[in-house]
Chains A and B, each alone.
Chain A
Amino acid sequence: MHRTGALYGQFETLEQQKDTATLGMWIFLVTEVMFFGGIMLAYTINRHTYFTAFAMGSSMISLPLGTTNTIVLLASSFTMAMGVWSAQTGKKKLLPIFLTLTIILGFAFFYVKYVEYSQKFHHHLVPGKTFDVNYCVNNPSKCEDISPADLDKEREELQRANAADPNLNSHAQLYFSAYFGMTGLHALHMIIGAGLLFWLLHGSLKGLYTPQWNTPVDIVGLYWHFVDIVWIYLFPLLYLIDRHR
C-alpha cells in the first residue's frame, strides 16, 4: 500500500485516517453490543421466570471474588486509557509500562476467574451429570471452604427454595449455564484482548507508535474498554441478585 510517513494513500489527512479507523471499530463494537445484549436479554427472561432458582444460584457464587474482579478490570481499563494517552503524547517509555500493567491486571482477572471456576467444579455446580444444587448441604465434609454457619443458613434457604420450586435443581442448572456461558464468553474476549495487548507491547518496544500514528493502540483500547463494559453489566446481573438478608 502506498504510504507517506504515517499517512496511507487512500486518506487525505491523518485526521481522516484516524476517524475512519475509529468509526470502523465502533461499527464492530455495535455488533458486539447486539451479541451480548441478546444473551443478557435471554438471561433476564429466564431470571424472571425462575427467580427463586436464580437467586439461589446467585447466592452460591462469590461476591468478594466478583467485586475484586470488577475492581481489577476497571483498573486495567484505566491503565489502558493511560497507555493510549502515552501513545498520543509520544511518551515512548511509558507506553510499554502501561501496556504491561494492563496485561498483568488482565491476568489477575483470569486468576480470580480460575479460583471461582474451580470452586464451582468442587461444589458440583457445573452444569451436567454431576450438577447438584444441594451437594454442599448434603456433603458438608466435601465443602470445607464454606463455614458451618453459612452451610446451615444455606440448608434453610434451600429447603424454602425447593418447596417453592419443585424443579429447583434444573432451574439452578440453568442459572449456572448462564453463569458459565456469559462469564466464559467474556473471558474469551479478554483472552483475545490479552493477545492483542502482547502484540501492542511488541510494537511499542520497537517504537512503532507515535502521536501521528497510534491507531492500533487506540483501537485495541476501544476493544478493551468494551470488554470492561460487558463486565460492568455481568457483575450486577450475575452476582447481585437478591443479596440482601
Chain B
Amino acid sequence: MAEQEHTEHSEHIVPPWLYMVIIGTLMALTILTVVAALQDLGRFNIVVALAIATTKATLVVLFFMHAKYVPKRTQLVIISGIFWLALLLFMTLSDYVSRVDYRGVRYPMSQNAVHISPSHRS
C-alpha cells in the first residue's frame, strides 16, 4: 500500500518536552514584559515591549506552528508575509514621522506628549 510506505517520513513530530520548554519560556517572557512595563525606560519601554512580543511570536511560529519543520516553500510564504508587513509598517511610518504640510508644520507624531503616571485600575 502506497500510504503505508509514506507514513514514516510524512512529518516531523515535536516532542512534548519541547512544547513544555516553549510554554515555560512564553510564560516567563509574559511576566518579564509586565515587569519591564512598570520600569521607566524612557522611549525604550515600547521597544522592549515589542522586542519581547516578537520573541514570543517567533517561538510560537517556529515550534507550536511547526514552521521550523515545514518545507522551504512554506517557509518562503511565511517570510514573504513578514516582509510585506514590514514594508507596510516601514513605508507608512516613515511618511508620518517625516510629514510636513504646506505651511511647514510637521505632523504631530509624539509631540506635546504628557507622561501619565497612572493609578492602576484593577
Contact = CB atoms under 8 A, between A and B. Distances in A.
Nearest to A42: B92
B37 A41 contact: no
B103 interface: no
Given A59-B121, A229-B60, A26 B34 contact: no
Interface of B: 1-3, 6-7, 9-11, 13-16, 19-20, 22-23, 26-27, 30, 33-34, 37-41, 45-46, 49-50, 52-53, 56-57, 60-61, 63-66, 70-71, 73-74, 77-78, 80-82, 84-85, 88-89, 92-93, 96, 107-110, 112-122
Interface string A11-49: 001110011001100110110011001100100110011
The majority secondary structure among interface residues of chain B is helix
A161 B109 contact: no
B118 A59 contact: yes
Contacts of A7: 2-3
B34 A67 contact: yes
Contacts of A52: 112-114, 116
Contact of B121 (A146, A152, A229): A146
Nearest to A38: B88
Given A26-B74, A30-B77, A164-B112, A4 B3 contact: yes
A241 B88 CA distance: 23
Given A19-B71, A33-B85, A236-B52, A55 B11 contact: no
9 residue pairs, one from A and one from B, having the closest CB atoms = A59-B118, A30-B81, A153-B119, A150-B119, A51-B113, A164-B114, A236-B49, A240-B37, A78-B23
Given A26-B78, A45-B93, A161 B3 contact: no
A41 B93 contact: yes
A37 B11 CA distance: 31
Q: Chain A contact residues: over half helix, strand or loop, or mixed? A: helix
Contacts of A153: 118-119
Nearest to A26: B77
A232 interface: yes
Given A13-B6, A22-B74, A240-B49, A85 B118 contact: no
Contacts of A14: 3, 6-7, 10
A82 B56 CA distance: 18
